[in-house]
Every structure is written in structure tokens, then in C-alpha cells.
């Protein structure tokens, strides 16, 4: 078996009975051929360690080795007297051998996101009346029109927990500025649900030449780091919420993801970039997932009147 690179040390562990390492035989295949893919996933492994701390019970993964067999990569390590084996095959990672609890961590794939202007949402409540350019009465645009008397409302059954808002990031904002709820009146504010907490994630976003129109841009997105919780007050006035992001580190991660995007979309880039100054374009997007809400006295719909990055 080969020594596990230092960046993999620190993967996730599962609580359970100790088991001896399993020798799977001689090395097969070319490690050099898969090294780039493994290095690309090293940051996700580090994040997985943080996100699944309950499985590893706080213990460090302090040493390790690797072995390759066919298209499966086996990682070995120890924590105290316990030995662990991690099996990486296809698009999933899980603990293997003994009574290991399965850890559901899938290899991250590129997701598509269509942004209208500078913001979008995963759902919108349809209003009874329409205005302007056939825009729904509770359009996502209402969150950026400067008028707290208009609002966006999510459009799924229930309170909308799990629905997401996406904002294009300019520069390195230090806070989220928002007017919670339906701000048209105190009565409407109380009747409708309001955001109590967001789960916020910075995304690296890339778009190919030709994926931009007068009204929308199609992005391919990946996460730049773990989500953070942002708590909102239940007040009708405008409020600011500090953004605890390390933008320099996010920029570094986005740069690494740019290399992956260039590789994964090489054919499309080559086909579309003829005559273009840039092969593709990059942006940062903030994903705000509704995690908790303040309930309304009459309606379940969660509303937001204004939301911006400052």
C-alpha cells in the first residue's frame, strides 16, 4: 500500500468497533492517472470531516495509506487504536468493512442555475393581479426594487423551509441588508410568515459564451465552502446581518474550481469560445436557504420585502 497524501489525512470517521485494516492485494492501475481527480476532491473531504463530526466523534484521522484496485480507491487510516478503511468508487464515498455506518457524501456535480438580473429564487407565489411586464405580484424582483410595500413570497405548500434565494455577489460584502416579511403594513407583516434563519453558502459560478441573454444568465455552480447560519430578527424595519465569510479563501477555492470547470466543459468551451476574448466567465453567488421561519397568524407563505448585499 502507498502512503496517503497529507491533504487526505483528516477525512471523516465513524463511531464503531475497531477493525483491522484489510489488505486488498497488489496495486492495480495507474495512480498518476487518478491523482488529479483525488486532489480535486481533497477540499470536499476536508469539508466532509467538519460536516460529519457526529460520525467521527471528534477524533482526528491522524495517519493513512491508499491502495488502488480497478476503478476503486481505498484509503486506510487510524484514530487511536482503531483502524479505518474508506472506499471511494464511482460517485459515492462510504465507510467499508465491519459495522461502519454509511456516510452519504456524493461526489459533487455541476448544477445549473438561471439568474434573472442579479437574483432568483427556487419558487414564487403567483398573485391574483399582474402588473408591469407580466411580472407575478410576488416576484423575486420585488426584493430589489427599494419599496418595502412590495414583497417576494415563496410558492410551495407550507412555510417554504428549504426554498432558496440566489444573489449575485459584487466585491466582498460584509453584511446582508433586508426588510423581513411583507412590509406593506403591520397587519400584513403579522399575517404572513417571516424568515427566522438562513443557511447561507457561497457558490462559484461559471457561464459559457452564449449563455447570457438580455434578461437572464445560465450558470454552472459548485459550493465554495460550508454553509453558515444567518439569524434574522422579527422586526418590520430594515436590518443588517453580518456575513462571516472569508472572501479571500472563497476566491482561492473558486480559482481551483475554475480549473475543474475548464476541464469538465472542455468540449463546450472549445466549441463556443472561437473569437471570444475569454474561454468562460466567472462570478460568485450567495445561496440563501430558508432554514427557520416566524409563523404568520393567517398565512403560511414566507415573505421578504427587500434583500441586498452591502
Percent of the chain at pLDDT > 90 equals 46
Q: What is the mean pLDDT of residues 188-211?
A: 95
pLDDT of the residue at 102: 32
Q: How many helices (H) and strands (E) does the chain have?
A: 5, 19
pLDDT of the residue at 127: 66
Q: Are the C-beta atoms of 97 and 19 separated by less than 8 Å?
A: yes
16's grid cell: 464503531
Confidence grade of residue 108 (pLDDT, cut at 50, 70, 90): low
Instruction: Examine the pLDDT at 13 and tell me if it is beyond 50.
Output: no
Distances, alpha carbon 304 to alpha carbons 171, 228, 300, 310, in Å? 24, 20, 13, 17
Q: What is the mean pLDDT of residues 205-226?
A: 90
Instruction: Examine the pLDDT at 56 and tell me if it is beyond 60.
Output: no
242's grid cell: 453580518
Confidence grade of residue 310 (pLDDT, cut at 50, 70, 90): very high
pTM over 0.75: no
Instruction: Examine the pLDDT at 109 and tell me if it is beyond 70.
Output: yes
Residues 125-156 pLDDT 10s = 886 544 444 456 899 999 999 999 999 999 99
Q: Are the C-beta atoms of 223 and 289 separated by less than 8 Å?
A: no
Mean model confidence pLDDT for the chain: 73
Q: What is the mean pLDDT of residues 75-97?
A: 47
Helix axis angle, 31-51 to 247-264, nearest 10°: 140
- Between 86 and 107, the more confident residue is 86
Q: Are the C-beta atoms of 142 and 152 separated by less than 8 Å?
A: yes
Domains of the chain: 2-106 (no CATH), 111-309 (2.60.120.260)
Percent of the chain at pLDDT > 70 equals 61
Angle at 173 between CA 262 and CA 291, to 5 degrees: 85
Residues 249-279 pLDDT 10s = 999 999 999 998 998 898 888 888 776 777 8
Amino acid at each position: 500500500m502507498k502512503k496517503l497524501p497529507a491533504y487526505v489525512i483528516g477525512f471523516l470517521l465513524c463511531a464503531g468497533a475497531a477493525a483491522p485494516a484489510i489488505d486488498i492485494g497488489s496495486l492495480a492501475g495507474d495512480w498518476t492517472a487518478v491523482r488529479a481527480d483525488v486532489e480535486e476532491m481533497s477540499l470536499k473531504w476536508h469539508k466532509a470531516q467538519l460536516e460529519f463530526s457526529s460520525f467521527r466523534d471528534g477524533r482526528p484521522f491522524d495517519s493513512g495509506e491508499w491502495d488502488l484496485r480497478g476503478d476503486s480507491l481505498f484509503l486506510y487510516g487510524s484514530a487511536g487504536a482503531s483502524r479505518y478503511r474508506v472506499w471511494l468508487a464511482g460517485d459515492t464515498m462510504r465507510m467499508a468493512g465491519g459495522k461502519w455506518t454509511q456516510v452519504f457524501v456524493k461526489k459533487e456535480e455541476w448544477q445549473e442555475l438561471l439568474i434573472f438580473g442579479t437574483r432568483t429564487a427556487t419558487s414564487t407565489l403567483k398573485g391574483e393581479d399582474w402588473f408591469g411586464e407580466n411580472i407575478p405580484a410576488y416576484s423575486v424582483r420585488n426584493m430589489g426594487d427599494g419599496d418595502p410595500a412590495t414583497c417576494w413570497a415563496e410558492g410551495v405548500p407550507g412555510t417554504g423551509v428549504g426554498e432558496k434565494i440566489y444573489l449575485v455577489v459584487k466585491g466582498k460584502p460584509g453584511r446582508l441588508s433586508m426588510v423581513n416579511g411583507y412590509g406593506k403594513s403591520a397587519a400584513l407583516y403579522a399575517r404572513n410568515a417571516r424568515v427566522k434563519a438562513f443557511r447561507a453558502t457561497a457558490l462559484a459560478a461559471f457561464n459559457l459564451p452564449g449563455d447570457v441573454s438580455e434578461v437572464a444568465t445560465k450558470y454552472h455552480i459548485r459550493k465554495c465552502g460550508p454553509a453558515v447560519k444567518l439569524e434574522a430578527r422579527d422586526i418590520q424595519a430594515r436590518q443588517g446581518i453580518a456575513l462571516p465569510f472569508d472572501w479571500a479563501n472563497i476566491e482561492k477555492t473558486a480559482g481551483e474550481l475554475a480549473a475543474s470547470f475548464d476541464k469538465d466543459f472542455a468540449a463546450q468551451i472549445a466549441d463556443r469560445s472561437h473569437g471570444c476574448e475569454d474561454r468562460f466567465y466567472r462570478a460568485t453567488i450567495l445561496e440563501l436557504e430558508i432554514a427557520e421561519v416566524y409563523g404568520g397568524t393567517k398565512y403560511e407563505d414566507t415573505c421578504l420585502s427587500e434583500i441586498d448585499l452591502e
